[in-house]
Amino acid sequence: MTAALTVPLAIVSPVRNEAKYVRFTLEAMLAQTVQPQEWLFVDDGSTDDTKAIIEAYAERHPWIRVISRENRGFRQLGSGVVAAFDFGCAHLRSSDYQYIAKLDGDMSFPPRYIEVMLHRLDNDSRLAAVSGKVFRPVNNGYVEEFIIDEMVAGQFKLYKREAFERIGGFTRTILWDGIDMHRCRMKGYTTLSFHDAEARLIHHRLMGSSDQNVYRGRVRLGRGIWFMGYHPLYAVASGLFRMHERPYLIGGLIIVGSYFYAALRREPRFDDPEFIRELQRWQLRQLRDLPIRFLKRDARDERQVRNLD
């Protein structure tokens, strides 16, 4: 077997109680044709065997490490994940990395995933961050967790270091993984997720279900898009689109209802008026161009249960 090429990439993985899935992620990384110079797990208060599992792999692979943060007693989405990621970045041993990635501990991906991602980044000077598309195992097939092509999957965000530092990193807020995309755009960068048979991300947990249940996740998303600054029309369109995902119909209604509930309560919004103005201008352009985008949609984008083999 040919040895993997080591590249100037640092990966930080915030994890909490991922004993059920983290081996998938570890084995996927070990199978990569291109591997990071450093992979640091931040155990964010796990009460299961997550840390012990990672330590067993780290004993055999010195470029893998795990450190711990104090157990706050609960899973804190959004700000908690980014705080753990920032904690990890501050404890990286390497300082000469050219790429930085945040990777969840419940993912798997094909052997050439990182190789394909870096090839895209290196061949486009304006491209700041990339990912493949995300799929979830269901019965004997897979369902795509839809994200627009301009958005990079939050489960595995791979950035050029220079671009990541220019946008100021991730915000310690809910929907940090959408805010960064628009900050990139405001700085003149592009971001991309794309379909490629060798770059599929397999997510072993239903998106938005890690905090108690998927219904709570949809409430959190609705209030989150209010916080982020969504235009009301785009919020409604987003909710309508999400109706075709589990939980069918009700999930989209929860998103829209939670958005307007937050609006009526005048809950806080992201503290950057320029960002919100630019975000809403972009969203209105997207709605205007929606019929054209729909007609041009490639058959590969159909998000139904499928066999990926």
Tell me the domains of the chain and their CATH numbers: 5-203 (3.90.550.10), 214-295 (no CATH)
Statement: the pTM of the whole predicted model exceeds 0.85:
yes
Cβ partners under 8 Å of residue 135, min gap 6: 142, 143, 144, 145, 200, 201, 202, 203, 308
Task: Tell me the torsion sign for CA atoms 42, 48, 52, 54.
Answer: negative
pLDDT at residue 120 greater than cutoff 90: yes
Could you give phi then psi for residue 64, rounded to 5 degrees? Answer: -105, 130
Query: Cα–Cα distance between 309 and 295 in angstroms, integer?
Result: 27
Mean pLDDT, the chain, rounded, equals 91
pLDDT at residue 308 greater than cutoff 70: no
> So what's the pLDDT on residue 79?
82
Query: Cα–Cα distance between 240 and 246 in angstroms, integer?
Result: 13
> What is the SS3 assignment for 208?
coil
Q: Extract the tokens encoding 252.
A: 């989209």
pLDDT at residue 298 greater than cutoff 50: no
Grade residue 71 by pLDDT with cuts at 50, 70 and 90. low
Residue pair 161/121 in contact (Cβ under 8 Å)? The answer is no
Could you give phi then psi for residue 235, rounded to 5 degrees? Answer: -65, -45
% of the chain exceeding 70 in pLDDT:
89
Grade residue 293 by pLDDT with cuts at 50, 70 and 90. low
> So what's the pLDDT on residue 299?
41
% of the chain exceeding 90 in pLDDT:
80
Mean pLDDT of 20-45: 98
pLDDT at residue 208 greater than cutoff 80: no
Residue pair 6/35 in contact (Cβ under 8 Å)? The answer is yes
Query: Cα–Cα distance between 87 and 103 in angstroms, integer?
Result: 14
Strands 134-138 and 141-145: antiparallel
> So what's the pLDDT on residue 140?
85
pLDDT at residue 301 greater than cutoff 80: no
